[in-house]
Structure 1
Amino acid sequence: MSKESQPHFANNKVSVKEPLLFLCHRIPFPPNKGDKIRSFNILKKLSETYAVHLGCFIDDPFDKQYVDGLNKYCASVFHLDQNKTFSKIKGLSGFFTGKPITLPYYYDKRMAQWTSAIVAEHKIAKVFVYSSSMAQYCQESRYSALERVIDFVDVDSDKWRQYAQKKQGVAKWFFNREYRLLAQVEDEICAEFSHSLFVSPDEAALFSARQPIALQKSVHGVLNGVDIDFFDPQADFSAESLVPTVPFISFTGAMDYWANVDAVLWFVKYVWPFIIAKNPQAIFCIVGGNPSSEVLALAEQPGIVVTGRVHDIRPFIAKATCVVAPLQIARGIQNKVLEAMSLNKAIVVTTMAMEGINAKESSGVVISDEASVYAQACLKYLNDSAVNLSNRQWIIDNFTWENTLQPLQQYFSAKDIIDE
């Protein structure tokens, strides 16, 4: 069995900035998928004020080539290769300890040792944790005096609850167990840390509602943003040979992530037959890395293209007649929707996919959970690509990183901030 490789250190520069420990469950670079887009932009923002000492895992060997790109933002970087198979086996130990499997999955004593050493060496007083799975590295009593801020991003426990609703038998029991135990862990972290952040006010409200009144003031929504210069319809996109030359519909996302897999399976099963019956030439592009076997099998059906990892996702969005986000399981904010809107594309989304973004229906935004309505909207865009759209302006007005991360610094300035 292959275990994680040896740890890697990089000390990049001496800085007069106050040191800050940043713990992240996945390397926050490059910003090419949901959680990494947010973690990178937060890291970038914090690096403007602090000398950031980053500890993270690398769960995709493809990302190792990008480690040096973090040098611009970090005073030092410690990263561990994570073998997913070995981590899953570790996760099962939670059944013997009464813990959610998420915690042992992400536990490595080398990360714990590095955390202890870096806090002592740099006399670190401030810690930013990205993802509840990494809080375990600074929850011991010796860290209680540190100013700790966590970005839960989503209410992860609630996603497990949603997963359980779609399962039967042992699988249903398994997912409900993880939901219950992870919710307990999330609540413990909230009680211990100075502030708990979430990707939207909606997500923060969901979590806050289950907290004691005394803790509710420490729960905040910090919106995601989008790089409007990169996701600009006027930008110079690289050539992508897999982009169809005929009208097509596009879905983007990591295709080994269950919520995305579930979304395209639902679309192909319930929506695509309506579309292909009316427009036999229609193309549906599923764009994203590591497609599961279920997703790969969809390419056997007429008109469906599964690309796998692509160098530049923008052409698959910009050249599409519309972008779909038919998510049936979701929490937080969908970056795929923000990116499509920034490129001023028409979007057809489910109610869940629009949560936290809260754009209203318009000429370029259709929100529906009904398959026939969903199909009709896609067909409308396939038949009329000359739709007057204002989606990009919505993003500029509401979702630039410069604006959404503006409140971030204040959570390290005072321990008792009450949101307006």
Structure 2
Amino acid sequence: MIAFPIIICCGISSIYRKWFYEEMRNPFLIKIFFFQLLLVCIGLCFSIIHLTFDYSYIQVIFTQQIHAIAGIFLIIYLKNRLHFSSMDVEKYIVYAYLVQSVIQLVASVSPSLVSVLVLFSRATKFQETAAGIRGLALSSATGWSLGLSYGLVYIIFVKRFLLYKVGISKMIIGILLLAGTFFAGRSGFVGAAIGVLFLILNNNQSFTLKFFLIIKGIFFIVVFCIFFYLLFPVLTNHLIERVFPFAFEPFYKLAYNDRFATGSTDVLLRMWSVPISFIEVLCGTGYFTDPITGAYFMGPDVGVLRNLFYWGIGGYLLVIIYQIVLIQPIRYINEKASTSKYNMILYQYAIMLYLFLLELKAMTIGFNKMTFSIVFLLSYFYFEDYRSSCYNTK
């Protein structure tokens, strides 16, 4: 929808058409589209060879391509009109999720706002099954994908905001992002943990400064919670009584049942027990979804298993390479050395670690559309920043 006016401009404006043709020759974009087409072709071959004719995976890749094409039109505007850099993209990605967090907090105690949000998200059934806790975002995906992308945004937030001078405003942003994850999904907390690890390991700050930063953060969270309760008692009670039991379910179970677990982790463990033969690992089955029920083939939602069931280890390795190629441009840029080379390596590895860890839970790497869109935008602008720095040094 955002890209639509720019598409019209490309049709009627010669300068926009020129920019569009330039982007179609961009080496990074060519590489991404090549891998997407390669995945489509190999997926077709597997479906035909196995006589399954299951094209459900291919449909997702086609959707991903549509996202990428729409992203190109957005890129044209951001790069040529607003002169965005990778730092700007990181900042506005965090701001976008900050707005989502505020929307979810307000919607959790405002049924009238929820009735407006469902017009865009179509998440009425999801809200009902989640007891009104989830499905409150202004997004086409309000479940797994949103929670997954929140975790990625934590890592971006740490790199963009916390490796430098940390003030009250940045801490408020961090707390609100954390609050948004209460409604989006607990998977985002994995990204928050990796973000904290990234913060601890960075070399921008001394150990003493990091220690005082953590103490300062804990103190500020306590003070923020007290003021939040005094200013918004109704919302605070709603969070304590309804949202926290979901968001911190493993701690509640540990306190009351002496067992650190959640309903979703129990289901995940059962998924990992699904039998898979050596031949299936080697060659796949050609099935991504069950041909009769339309559910996940053999039941598991685990990304590793679904990929192996579909096209075996060979196809899965190609997906892994595709994800690495997508992340590879996120690197140290000498001309924009506000972040050290060591920290940029940590940043890249933190993103990769997060996506590969969450692949153990559900389809993530090279597949999820929301994380693809975020990484695609980031990588494109890092690639462009790197190209411009190389050009300037010549």
**Fold conserved (TM > 0.5)?**
no
TM-score w.r.t. length of structure 1: 0.27
Whichever structure has more strand as a proportion of its residues is 1
Whichever structure has more helix as a proportion of its residues is 2
TM-score w.r.t. length of structure 2: 0.29
Structure number with the bigger relative contact order (C-alpha 8 A, sep ≥ 6) is 2
